[in-house]
Amino acid sequence: MRIGLDAMGGDFAPKAVVAGAVLAMKEFHRGVSVVLIGDKKRIHEELKKYDAPADKYEIVHAPDTIGMGESPIKAFTQKPHSSISIGFHLLAEKKISAFASAGNTGAMLVGSMYSIKTIPGVIRPCVTSILPKESGKLGVLLDVGANADCKPDVLYQFGILGSLYAEHVYGIKHPRVGLMNIGEEGGKGNLVSQAAYEIMKTTKQFHFIGNVEGRDLFNAKADVVVCEGFVGNVIIKQAESIFEIMCKRHLLDSFFHRFNYEIYGGSPILGVNGAVVVGHGISNEVAIKNMIMLSKNVVETKLSEKVRNAFEYI
């Protein structure tokens, strides 16, 4: 297995990215390697700091970088020699098993749809976030920013995608799927939520438990929570701010410590023909290492294949 890593992606690249790759390589067994994609000179300079032999890593030179603030479509199409563009080229050619980046999330989404394409039947790919549960278990929230506005059938498909992800990557048996709303009753919420509820309540493709509210995010009511990307992004940003406040006030306990994004590494882009993982832009070396480990897990569980099978007859 060869995991492609965007060495130039993220606020602290390439320093944090190379350091994370070094950490990940210490945990890999034989047959798993990291392909560093980016400015070859700068990558070599970082590897020297860790006394990491360059011949242990494959480096693919990419002279350009897509910045965080650049237009995703424009940058991806006009910068064919960027680390993200080259990474997707390698993935499409099956020269790497997965591609991970803490860089421009929009460019990663565009690259996925341009290069390896959306799985037939999937209306919109999406990204997820982990929900730490008070019980010590994990839940999944989706979408968290890729799709600000969604139609009811898109939310329904998020239920399928989230259920498959929770089951096969995180080992949650028969995950319970809830629809984020302002009340538990089926008639509550805006028109999109009401229509999505009507579609979901009779489905046999996942275990739908009905509407859930904001207070249910961290309890045991649902394993998968579905919402529009606008709502999901507000939720995760609020959770991040709570974690930062708790850190500043030295109030962390075993539960709130699990709000630390570094632990989870990132999220796969669900609904595309391949293993693509995006990380937080402020990822440090620990987060990068865990992003690489998540990429390995997504490949090993054949998540894309399972999604493809689920959507074959929709």
CATH of residue 73's domain is 3.40.718.10
Q: Is position 311 within any domain?
A: no
| pTM of the entire predicted model | 0.93
For residue 114, what are the contacts with CB-CB under 8 A and spacing of at least 6? 76, 77, 88
Residue 53's pLDDT band, with cuts at 50, 70 and 90, is low
As a residue count, the chain comes to: 314
Per the DSSP assignment, residues forming a β-bridge with 278 are: 101, 267
Q: Is position 78 within any domain?
A: yes
Are 7 and 76 found together in one domain? yes
Are 189 and 293 found together in one domain? no
Q: What are phi and psi of 273, to 5 degrees?
A: -80, 65
pLDDT score, position 51: 76
Are 98 and 176 found together in one domain? no
CA distances to 42, 89, 216, 264 from 13, in Å:
10, 21, 36, 19
Name the residue with tokens 């539960």.
255
Residue type, 232: G
Taking only the tens place, the pLDDT of each residue in 258-269 is 999 889 999 999
- Domain hosting 185: range is 128-259
Taking only the tens place, the pLDDT of each residue in 131-180 is 999 999 999 999 999 999 999 999 999 999 999 999 999 999 999 999 99
Number of domains in the chain: 2
